[in-house]
Chains A and B, each alone.
Chain A
Amino acid sequence: MITTWKTIVAGFGGQGVLTIGRMLAYAGMIEDKEVTFIPSYGAEMRGGTANCTTIVSDHPISSPVINSANLVVAMNLQSLVKFEAMIDTGMYLFYNSSVIKTEPTRNDLQIFPIPANEQASELGAPRSANIVMLGAVIRRTNMLQLDSVESALSKEFYGSKASLLSKNIEALYAFEQ
Chain B
Amino acid sequence: MTRKVLMKGNEAFGEAAIRAGCRFYVGYPITPQNELVEYMSRELPEHGGTFIQSESELATINIAYGIGVAGGDCLISSSSPGIALMQEGFSFACMAEVPIVILNVSRSGPGIGGIQPGQSDYFQMTRGGGNGDYRIPVFTPATMQEAVNTIYGSFEIANRYRNPVSIMVDGMMGQMMEPVVLPEAKAPLAEERIAAEKPWALVGRGTKPTRNVIKAYAPNTTILETQVLRLFKKYESMEAELPEAVLTDVEDAEMVFVAYGSAARIVAEVMTILKERGIRTGLIRPKTVWPFPNGAFDRLGERTKIVVSVELSMGQMIDDIERAVRGRYPVRLINRAGGIIPTSEEISRIAEEMIGAYR
Contact surface of A with B, Cβ cutoff 8 Å: 22, 25-26, 29, 34-39, 41-43, 62-67
Q: Is B172 an interface residue (CB 8 A)?
A: yes
Query: Can you name 13 A-B residue pairings with CB atoms under 8 Å?
Result: A22-B6, A25-B6, A29-B6, A35-B6, A35-B179, A36-B178, A41-B115, A42-B32, A62-B265, A62-B269, A63-B269, A64-B265, A67-B344
The residues of B that contact A65 with a CB separation of less than 8 Å are: 172, 266, 341, 343-344
B268 touches A62 (CB 8 A): yes
Residue numbers in A under 8 Å from B6 (CB-CB): 22, 25-26, 29, 35, 37
Which positions 75-119 of chain B face chain A at CB distance < 8 Å? 115-116
Residue B4 at the A interface, CB < 8 A?
yes
State the CA gap A26–B32 with chains docked (Å).
Answer: 22
Interface residues on B, range: 20 to 34
Tell me if B345 is interfacial: C-beta within 8 Å of chain A. Answer: yes
Find residues 311-325 in chain B having any chain A CB closer than 8 Å to their own CB. none
Given contacts A35-B6, A41-B115, A42-B31, contact A63 B175 (CB under 8 A): no
Other contacts beyond A35-B6, A35-B177, A67-B344: 4, CB < 8 A: A22-B177, A35-B179, A41-B115, A41-B175
- How many angstroms from the CA of A65 to the CA of B4 in the assembled complex? 22
**CB atoms of A35 and B178 under 8 A apart:** yes
Question: Which residues of chain B have a CB within 8 Å of any CB of chain A?
Answer: 4, 6, 31-32, 115-116, 171-172, 175-179, 265-266, 268-269, 272, 341, 343-345
Instruction: Evaluate contact between B345 and A67: CB separation under 8 angstroms.
Output: yes
Inter-chain residue pair count (beta carbon < 8 A): 58
B341 touches A41 (CB 8 A): no
Closest to A155 in B: B6
**Is there an interface contact between A38 and B265, defined as CB atoms closer than 8 Å?**
no
Of A34, A43, A64, chain B has the most CB atoms within 10 Å of the CB of: A64
| B32 in complex: contacting residue of A22, A37, A41, A63, CB < 8 Å | A41
Across the interface, name the chain A residue whose C-beta is closest to B34: A41
B343 and A25 within 8 A (CB): no
Tell me if B179 and A37 are in contact (CB < 8 A).
no
In the complex, what distance in Å separates the CA atom of A41 from the CA atom of B268? 24
Instruction: Output the least CB separation between B325 and chain A (Å).
Output: 25
Please, which residue of chain A has its CB at the minimum distance from the CB of B263? A63
Nearest Cβ on chain B to A160's Cβ, whole angstroms? 13
Across the interface, which residues of B come within 8 angstroms of A39, CB to CB? 175
B266 adjacent to A63 (CB under 8 Å): yes
Are B344 and A63 touching (Cβ within 8 A)?
A: yes
Task: Name the B residues within 8 Å of A26 (CB-CB).
Answer: 6
From B115, B177, B341, contact of A25 by CB (8 A): B177
Identity of the chain A residue whose Cβ is nearest the Cβ of B116 in the assembled complex: A42
Q: Contact: B116 with A36, CB < 8 Å? A: no
What is the bound-complex CA distance between A22 and B272, given in angstroms? 27
Q: Which among B4, B115, B175, B341 is the interface contact of A29 at CB below 8 angstroms? A: B4
Taking a contact as CB atoms closer than 8 A, the residue among A22, A41, A66 that contacts B171 in the complex is A41
Asked if B175 and A67 sit within 8 Å, CB to CB, the answer is no
